[in-house]
Amino acid sequence: MRLVMIDNYDSFTYNLVQLFYEFDLEVLVFRHDAVSLPEIDALQPDWICISPGPKAPAQAGISKAVISRFYQKIPILGVCLGHQAINEVFGGATVKAPAPVHGKRHQVFHHGRGLFAGIPSPFAAARYHSLMASPRSPELEVTARTGDGVIMGLSHRRYPLHGVQFHPESFLTAHGHALAENFLRLGEGAKGRSPGVSPGDLSPPHPDSLPQSHIMV
C-alpha cells in the first residue's frame, strides 16, 4: 500500500512520514515544486497527504492542484497548511487566527465519527499556526473546533477528503496514531476495500450540532 506525501518544505514532514510508517506503508515524499500531476497519477497511490508548511496555501506549490485533481478518487489528508489548502480549493479563505499559536496544546472538540472515531472529545492537540481556514463551501463540513471556535477539522461531505489544523504527528497531540488509522480506514472503505466501514462513517457530523460554546460566531 502506497502513500504519497507532498512536502511543503516543513520540519514536521518527516514526523508525519514516521507516523504513516507505523502502518507498514510505502511512503513516497515529494517536495511541492519537484513533482507533477502525471507523475503522481502514474504512481497510483492509495492515499495522499499534504504536509504542513511555513507559509500560506498560495505558496504551497502543487498542493492545491493535487487536491483538485485527485480528491474524487484518492483519499487525501491535509495537515495544517494542507488543511488550509483544502479549504481554498473549495472557495474558502485563509485568514489570520485570533492569535498565533506555536507549540501549544489545546483541547479539540468533535463528535467521535469519521476521522475522529474512537477518539475522546475533547482531546489535547498541538497547534502551530497563525492562519486558519474560513470555509465557504457547502461541500465541506466543519468536524472539529477549539473551545473558542477556531476550526480544527474539515471534511468533504461526499469524498474521503479531510483536513486538520492541528498536528497529529506531534508528541504534544494525544491519539494522533488513532486519527491516522481512521484516515487510512476511511479511505479503504471509500474505495470499497474494507467491508467493515459503513457509508455513514464517511460523513462527519454537521457543525450545527456541536456544543454552542464551541461554535464560532
Residue 33's pLDDT band (cuts 50, 70, 90): very high
Catalytic residue among 129, 167, 175, 214: 167
Q: Which helix (H) or strand (E) holds 217?
A: none
Non-local CB neighbours of 47 within 8 Å, separated by 6+ positions? 1, 2, 3, 4, 25, 74, 75, 76, 77, 183, 184, 187
Name the 3-class secondary structure at 107: strand
Catalytic residue among 88, 141, 169, 188: 169
Q: Answer whether 63's CB lies under 8 Å from 32's CB.
A: yes
Q: Answer whether 77's CB lies under 8 Å from 71's CB.
A: no
Residue 49 annotated as catalytic: no
Domains of the chain from N-terminus onward:
2-214 (3.40.50.880)
pTM for this entry = 0.86
- Looking at residue 206, its pLDDT comes to 37
Catalytic residue among 32, 49, 80, 110: 80
Residue 169 annotated as catalytic: yes
* pLDDT value at 205 more than 50: no
Q: Label residue 163 left, alpha or beta by phi (over 0 means left) and psi (-120 to 50 means alpha).
A: beta
* 104/154 Cα distance (integer angstroms): 21
